[in-house]
Structure 1
Amino acid sequence: MAEHEDTKGESLIEEITEKFHGGDSSPSSESEDEKHSELKAKIYRLFGREKPVHQVFGGGKSADVLLWRNKKISAGALGVATALWVLFELMEYRLLTLVCHGLILTLAILFLWSNGTTFIHKSPPRIPEVSIPEQPILQFVSVLRFEINRTLFVLREIALGRDLKKFLAVIASLWLLSIVGMWCNFLTLFYIVFVLLHTVPVLYEKHEDKVDPLAEKLMIEIKKQYALFEEKVLSKIPRGPLKDKKH
């Protein structure tokens, strides 16, 4: 009986200590989670993004290609783009000539293959019917239309003078783009953008913890310089009051 009472007493003591520690640990764990979430919220991300890089690029197959999730497809896309750039830019090949030569070669091979099977007593090859599906084309046109309308809306807002910062940023971007256009043609510029899209995002994803603090310092410095420029130059430019029209 005494042993039974001792075991009961020990179990009661263990339950009390567990409850005591459990009640103690829950608020501390909650406070730790809150601190962790606050630290996450304070971390600066490039361009103010809140999602992972993969989701920023859409999270689909295009994001997989840009971030080299499938190395064979990504390397193949980059290789095809490089081959086309070498053909058109370095070897000065023409698009119409390339299309015609490719069609001639394809038709000649299929014609010889289908007619050569009669001499070796085999059935001719089945050439599949190729047609462009309607739904992807409509989706692409719809997305393109939305982006063009959004760009026109932003340009209209900038032209109305409601956001001076955006106006200066667009003017500077167009000026830099015009300088780049003087150095290279559209095909080379398209190829450079294509290569950058296949290299910069994947490198940033691997080293984002090092890049983001540097980007934060750079943005702070740019804001300081812009504030000085606004104080010394932009504030002295006379501007009339903007009157909002009521419809």
Structure 2
Amino acid sequence: MADIVTEEPEHEPTTYIDSAKEKISEIFDRDDSSSSSDSDAKTKDKKSFPVPSNKNTTSWKDKPVHSLLGGGKAADIFLWRSKRKSMAILGFATIIWALFELIEYHLLSLLCHILILVLGGHFLWSNTLNLFYRCPQFPQVAVEEETALQVALVLRLEINNALEVLREIAAGKDLKEFLAVIAGLWIVSIAGSCCSLLTLVYMCFVLLHTVPLLYERHKDKADVCLEKAEAEFKKQFDVLQEKVLSRVPSLQSKDKKLA
């Protein structure tokens, strides 16, 4: 009988111990990768949300008066940097105020008289003077479309900004600002009952040409007075808040919700 030869495999299969070791190493590798990914995510979150810096913003007292007025040509006129323009504008405003308030000249009469002078000058220019002299044509006056659109856009932006500011004030988020606006409107209403609108506008115009210049020249003394006035205003506001505003139920409910 032929002998049956059993062939042994060259590579023995892996034992249970080796397979268990491989599974344990895979589990540890997964844990290490997850922990490293978590740490990377945390570092990314820290990087993506930077800590805000505690830099103190400069107050309006530290800024120059020219920048407080917005800069540009308007600030130069109010601070008398260009004296000829400032004197011309202030003189023109004084003439207009004197015509309507002192002489009691009416706006409609002024417009009609200006149109009479313009039409009479144009008639003399085009008919009479050309008989004796070779005069150039009378200049044409027209408003360009670009300038009209620019003026309309500027007015639209300013009106929208003013409405947005009024909406924020009326929302009552800043109580001090709300009370300050109410007090300012009340003072303006009292001044409006004492004088006309033109006189009030002229007084504001004169103050714009005098107060910034005096403040720039005597800034140190004015800052001391303003600090005293600000401290007194804060004291009076605290008294008002303790005696009146703390008893209002709507404000108390808002404070509880915020707390």
Identity %: 53
Asked if residue 117 in structure 1 is aligned to residue 129 in structure 2, the reply is yes
Counterpart residue identity of residue 94, structure 1: H
| Runs (4+) off by over 4 Å | none
Counterpart residue identity of residue 123, structure 2: F
Counting only pairs closer than 5 Å after superposition, residues 52-91 of structure 1 correspond to structure 2 as 52-91=64-103
- In the alignment, the residues of structure 2 paired with residue 149 and residue 142 of structure 1 have an alpha-carbon distance, to the nearest angstrom, of 11
Q: Is the 8 A contact 2:79 2:212 kept in 1?
A: yes
User: In terms of mean alpha carbon deviation, does 78-87 or 157-166 score higher?
Assistant: 157-166
Counterpart residue identity of residue 243, structure 2: K
Show the counterpart of 1:207.
Answer: 218
Counting only pairs closer than 5 Å after superposition, residues 97-116 of structure 1 correspond to structure 2 as 97-116=109-128
Q: Is the 8 A contact 2:126 2:138 kept in 1?
A: no
Equivalent position SS for 2:249: coil
Counterpart residue identity of residue 236, structure 2: Q
- In the alignment, the residues of structure 2 paired with residue 50 and residue 82 of structure 1 have an alpha-carbon distance, to the nearest angstrom, of 34
Counterpart residue identity of residue 68, structure 2: V
Counting only pairs closer than 5 Å after superposition, residues 1-247 of structure 1 correspond to structure 2 as 48-120=60-132, 122-239=133-250, 241-242=253-254
Deviations 1:88-125 (A, max 9, x none): 112121112111111211221232233233442x2123
Q: Is the 8 A contact 2:125 2:138 kept in 1?
A: no
TM-score (norm 2): 0.68
- What is the Cα-based RMSD across aligned positions, in Å? 2.5
TM-score (norm 1): 0.71
- In the alignment, the residues of structure 1 paired with residue 67 and residue 148 of structure 2 have an alpha-carbon distance, to the nearest angstrom, of 23
**Any unmatched runs of 5+ in structure 1?**
1-40
Deviations 1:178-232 (A, max 9, x none): 1111011111111111111111111111111221122112212211221222122
Counterpart residue identity of residue 161, structure 1: G
Measured at CA, do residues 140 and 54 of structure 1 come closer, stay the same or move farther in structure 2, by a change above 3 Å? farther
Counterpart residue identity of residue 78, structure 1: L
CA drift at 1:78 = 0.7
- In the alignment, the residues of structure 2 paired with residue 217 and residue 139 of structure 1 have an alpha-carbon distance, to the nearest angstrom, of 44
Counterpart residue identity of residue 194, structure 2: W
Q: Is the 8 A contact 2:169 2:178 kept in 1?
A: yes
Bigger relative CO (Cα 8 Å, ≥ 6 apart): 1
